[in-house]
Amino acid sequence: MQQWFNASLQRKISGLLVVLLSFMFVVILYSIYKLKLIDAEMHEVAEIDVPLTEMVSELEIMQLKQHLLIEQFRLKGTEDKVVLAPEQAFAEQRDGLKLILTKAERILTKSLQQHQIRFAPAEHQQILVSMKAFHQQSDSFEHQLQLALQEGHTTDQQWQRFEDEAARLDQNIVAILRHMEKLTLEASRYTDKHENEFMLVNTGLGVCAFVIGLYLTFYILQIFRQRIGRIQTEIKNVHHSIEQGLPIASPVFPQLQHQDELTELEQDLKMMVQRLSQEISNRQEIEQQLLVLATRDKLTGAFNRHKWEEQLRMEISLAERGSAFSIALLDVDFFKKVNDQFGHQTGDKVLQTLTEHLGRRLRKTDTLFRLGGEEFAILLPQQKVEAACQLAEVLRQHIASLEETDLPAFTISFGVTEYCQQDDAASILNRADQALYQAKAMGRNRVQQG
């Protein structure tokens, strides 16, 4: 059973369909069998029971007529002037009675020989035997009655004997008739019972088939809804992450309870989402690295000249609408001597150390840029030139007081200016550069306002 639940969806559906079709095949076979049985019983009712019932009615009428003729025989025996000829009518009635009984006997004999009687064949055989015995008794009674009529005069004792014999024959024929009526009635009830059972069982089987079909339908719909729902959830998560610009969460791979086509599709989708998440993460890392390469100086980690020009244009645009900012240009004093005396590697370390110490002492809104060589720039938003000069002086003193064991002492010079109306990037940068030039001309290791 566990293997069946873990089977593919196609095998599950095929298995349930086989069960449903097998059940329907059994229902059809049972219906065919029952219909044939009911058809045979209806044929028996039509070919045997209905004719016998009609014969029973005819026999009862003829029996009544026979009683009337016997009374006429008595009148004839006591009154010589009776004009009627009851012996002829009696003979005709007897012949008719025999004909009906013979016909009934022939029907029963043929039916028993051809095995057409399904209900109580032994009792039908018993009726056939009773009919044959009745024929013999009736023939004997008729012979005695004819002899008495030929003598011309019959005593009351003889008529009494004839009446007793006729009463016995009546009892026998009544017993046969009642027996036949009983069998035909029970056969009809038996057929009705089979029809009711057939309808009941067929209804039950039909309901079972409907329940199985309904279960199959709901089972398939439930499987599709659950699995496709999870797939849609994964797709919606990916779509939401892409719309919001968020990283795509790596999907969770739960322990599988079923192994079918939809489960495989769900797993493939999760693997695809996982790979997409990894690819996007890798792409974001690469983009971040490219952004760093495009905006950062490789040696020092400070922003590069391209970023400086971009930020400067943005600050000028803000300043034109009423904001204020200052810039500070700086470079390392006698940096060429450091390179010549200690080597370029030491010069690189000097630049790196300078960038590290300056960055620690700037505000979060301030930005440090390396414009090239040993020249740096600091962008100071929302600061007037006086505050910018104070900050530059603090930075200058800190660098001048550095004592690095593996680096020579070095100093820096500043040229500081602020934004003025009608300034552009070239004019403000030129003014700061002139102030830096003055600081170097005045002996270096100083801050000069421009």
Query: How much is the average pLDDT of 355-365?
Result: 93
Percent of the chain residues topping a pLDDT of 70: 65
Query: How much is the average pLDDT of 124-147?
Result: 72
Query: How much is the average pLDDT of 126-155?
Result: 71
Reported as a single tens digit per residue, the pLDDT across 242-274 is 777 666 666 665 555 556 666 777 677 777 777
Task: Give me the residue spans of the domains in the chain.
Answer: 2-215, 299-449
Give the number of other Cβ atoms within 10 Å of residue 228's Cβ.
13
Query: How much is the average pLDDT of 102-121?
Result: 63
What's domain 299-449's architecture? 2-Layer Sandwich (3.30)
Q: What is the pLDDT of residue 433?
A: 95
Q: Which residues, at least 6 apart from 200, have a Cβ–Cβ distance to it below 8 Å?
A: none
Reported as a single tens digit per residue, the pLDDT across 279-317 is 777 777 777 777 667 788 989 999 999 999 999 999 999
> Is the separation of the CB atoms in 263 and 227 below 8 Å?
yes
Q: What is the pLDDT of residue 441?
A: 93
Q: What is the pLDDT of residue 259?
A: 60
Percent of the chain residues topping a pLDDT of 90: 31
> Is the separation of the CB atoms in 97 and 59 below 8 Å?
yes
Task: Determine the Cα–Cα distance for residues 203 and 210; give it in Å rounded to an integer.
Answer: 10
With cut-offs at 50, 70 and 90, classify the pLDDT of residue 2.
very low
pLDDT higher than threshold 50 for residue 79: no
Task: Determine the Cα–Cα distance for residues 285 and 281; give it in Å rounded to an integer.
Answer: 6
> Is the separation of the CB atoms in 182 and 127 below 8 Å?
no
pLDDT higher than threshold 80 for residue 381: yes
Q: Which residues, at least 6 apart from 112, have a Cβ–Cβ distance to it below 8 Å?
A: 121, 124, 125, 128
Q: How far is CA 209 from CA 19, 23, 217, in A?
A: 10, 7, 12
> Which pTM value belongs to this model?
0.47
Phi, psi (rounded to 5 degrees) for 84? -65, 160
Q: How far is CA 81 from CA 78, 84, 91, 147, 309, in A?
A: 9, 9, 21, 20, 160
- Nearest partner of 242 among 271, 206, 208, 283, judged by Cα: 283
The reply to whether 2-215 and 299-449 are identical in fold is no
Q: Where are the beta strands (DSSP E) in 96-163?
A: none
Reported as a single tens digit per residue, the pLDDT across 402-437 is 988 889 999 999 999 999 988 999 999 999 999 999
More confident residue, 330 or 131: 330
Task: Determine the Cα–Cα distance for residues 312 and 318; give it in Å rounded to an integer.
Answer: 10
Mean pLDDT computed over every residue of the chain: 76
What's domain 2-215's architecture? Up-down Bundle (1.20)
More confident residue, 147 or 297: 297
Q: What is the pLDDT of residue 81?
A: 39
**Distance, first Cα to last Cα, the chain:** 90
Least confident of 106-115, 153-162, 184-193, 263-272: 106-115
pLDDT higher than threshold 60 for residue 47: no
Reported as a single tens digit per residue, the pLDDT across 121-131 is 676 677 777 77
Query: How much is the average pLDDT of 379-396?
Result: 95
Query: Phi-psi region for residue 345, left (φ > 0), alpha (ψ -120 to 50) or beta?
Result: alpha
Catalytic residues: 374
